[in-house]
């Protein structure tokens, strides 16, 4: 059994979880709710002066856990692969500017080529941006995505694949992110979590739930307790692997985005204590 969660000291919320809010609203409302850690999605940084963002985060004592997302390296077109590198370098700059120690990578896939080819291009892409990541002090977290995204969002679909790639690149600046939504179904999950823990490669832990049935591939994630994932068990594996970072609530949900977001945040806190 996992040790029950009794406080919010390790609770981090992704800005995309409360999508109707801009960065300032996220910072103010999270802080008022007693949540002191945040993962920032780049959409809220688009029209944002980064110095101002950093000042706001500091003023509220908000710990930035990571910036999401970089990645999307593969393409059959060389030009697009170059554009992806540029965008990732910008993401590293943004992460560094807001004080994020980690940039999460949604690695990408191009359905016009094989998964193996896409994986090759992902590894090449990561190796290309690695010097800048090191210089900026930002670690790169390879996040495996559920296989339903293998055609367009990520050719890395199991933690074994992510672990292997991180091990091959072999840099303290490259590791993996474990997201229960993408990985809960994998019978090797406990073993693979132990593996990245052993190698010092476990950089992030994302939680939400898998709705049954799931009605939308992208934006029908459940709140912890809504679905069928045994989150406390996976959290125990992650903690047993030596991970002591935040539990990041990352929920894309058309249903919850329609709610009053202040009430939703309270719901998240309750579900966090009860079902995580």
Residues at the contact surface with Zn ion, assessed by CB under 5 A: 179, 206, 250
Q: Which is nearer to Zn ion, 10 or 206 (CB)?
A: 206
Cβ pair 33, 249 in contact under 8 A: no
Rounded least distance, CB 105 to Zn ion, Å: 11
Cβ nearer to Zn ion, comparing 56 with 156: 156
CB 47 within 8 A of CB 39: no
* Tokens read off for 186: 């994998």
C-beta of 4: minimal distance to Zn ion in Å?
23
Question: What residues pair up with 247 in beta bridges, in sequence order?
Answer: 11, 205
Give dist(CA 201, CA 77) in Å, integer.
31
By DSSP bridging, strand 209-210 and strand 221-222 are antiparallel
Q: Which is nearer to Zn ion, 119 or 206 (CB)?
A: 206
Q: Please, which residue, 195 or 206, has the CB nearer to Zn ion?
A: 206
Neighbour count for residue 143 (Cβ, 10 Å): 25
Structure tokens at 118: 């896409």
């Amino acid at each position: 059994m996992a040790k029950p969660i009794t406080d919010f000291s390790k609770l981090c919320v992704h800005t995309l979880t409360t999508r109707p809010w801009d960065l300032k609203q996220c910072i103010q409302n999270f802080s008022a709710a007693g949540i002191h850690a945040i993962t920032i999605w780049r959409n809220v940084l688009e029209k944002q002066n980064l110095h101002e963002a950093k000042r706001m985060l500091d003023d509220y004592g908000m710990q930035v856990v990571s910036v999401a997302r970089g990645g999307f390296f593969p393409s059959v077109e060389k030009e697009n692969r170059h554009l992806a590198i540029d965008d990732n370098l910008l993401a590293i700059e943004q992460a560094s500017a807001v004080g994020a120690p980690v940039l999460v990578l949604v690695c990408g896939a191009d359905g016009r080529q094989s998964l193996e080819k896409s994986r090759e291009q992902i590894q090449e892409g990561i190796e290309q941006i690695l010097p800048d990541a090191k210089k900026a002090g930002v670690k790169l977290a390879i996040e495996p995505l559920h296989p339903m995204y293998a055609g367009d969002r990520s050719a890395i679909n199991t933690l074994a694949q992510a672990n292997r790639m991180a091990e091959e690149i072999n840099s303290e600046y490259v590791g993996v992110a474990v997201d229960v939504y993408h990985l809960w179904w994998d019978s090797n999950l406990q073993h693979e979590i132990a593996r990245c823990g052993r190698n010092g490669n476990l950089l992030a832990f994302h939680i939400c739930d898998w709705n049954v049935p799931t009605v939308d591939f992208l934006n029908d994630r459940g709140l912890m307790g809504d679905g069928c994932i045994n989150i406390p068990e996976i959290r125990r594996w992650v903690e047993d692997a030596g991970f002591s970072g935040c539990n990041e609530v990352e929920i894309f949900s058309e249903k919850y985005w329609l709610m009053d977001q202040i009430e939703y945040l309270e719901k998240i806190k309750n579900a966090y204590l009860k079902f995580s």
